[in-house]
Amino acid sequence: MSIPAFGLGTFRLQGQVVIDSVSTGLALGYRVIDTAQIYENEAEVGEAIAASGIAREELFITSKIWIANFAKDRLIDSLKESLRKLQTDYLDLTLIHWPSPDDQVPVEEFMGALLEAKRLGLTRQIGVSNFTVELMQKAIAAVGAENIATNQIELHPYLQNRKVVEFARRQGIQITSYMTLAYGEVLKDPVIQQIAARLQATPAQVTLAWAMQSGYAVIPSSTKRANLQSNLKACDLQLSEADMALIASLDRGHRLTSPKGIAPHWD
């Protein structure tokens, strides 16, 4: 895997809340941090990272380009602004956050600009987020599958997005699962609760372990130290093939994120 399997998400966390979450995560051993321009927390994430004293080469930092910055004369400047806020010279991974609404900026334009950012050393890897199979095909045509490290998509036991996953895998593109716990909905699932009880684990640990054993990277977020610490233990949890099959059977196409005017026509 070209990107780490386990990281810390910062979606919906701002101000002191995100500073505390990232600071605590780093103190507990997290080394992968995921943010985005639209989260409006890059400066605070950068502040927490700087205060941690952890060497830059030990960290893996991801951010995402917002749709307002897709044009080739905007994308690189916006990335440089993200770097300034994050107090770093480069990102480890930069993603296109959502496809351009109504194709206002063609895929080949923003992917070309993102690849140029990689060539300039502003980011080590590039990728996409919330891309359908059709959009991935366009991105591959623009820059080649070898230049697309990941497609970060909503993926949890209730939305397993198999069509997108299977296409990405055939192309050698890794999948990053966001919202792996489905805003906590899957933690109440009787199947997941039963597996958790048997393994003396939490439902969150079981769900995160399922995603990682399925080959996906995960970026759960939390504002609570106990949860941040507990989630880390998912890395050591092993599910049986039977457990994996039980969780695979929970898929119901239950999508939680589909912002009007931005979301593509989902597969």
Catalytic residues: 39
- Listed residue (255, 258, 207, 215) closest to 233, CA to CA: 207
Contact criterion met (CB below 8 Å) for 131 and 99 = yes
Could you report how far apart the first and last alpha carbons of the chain are, in Å? 25
Round the CA-based radius of gyration of the chain to a whole number and report it: 18
Query: What is the C-alpha separation between 222 and 73, in angstroms, rounded?
Result: 36
Angle CA 199–256–126, to nearest 5:
85
Structure tokens at 213: 């054993």
Q: Which residues pair with 123 in a beta bridge?
A: 91
- Listed residue (217, 218, 231, 205) closest to 247, CA to CA: 205
Pairing mode, if any, of strands 174-178 and 60-65? unpaired
Contact criterion met (CB below 8 Å) for 70 and 107 = no
Query: What is the C-alpha separation between 156 and 167, in angstroms, rounded?
Result: 18
3-state secondary structure of 217: strand
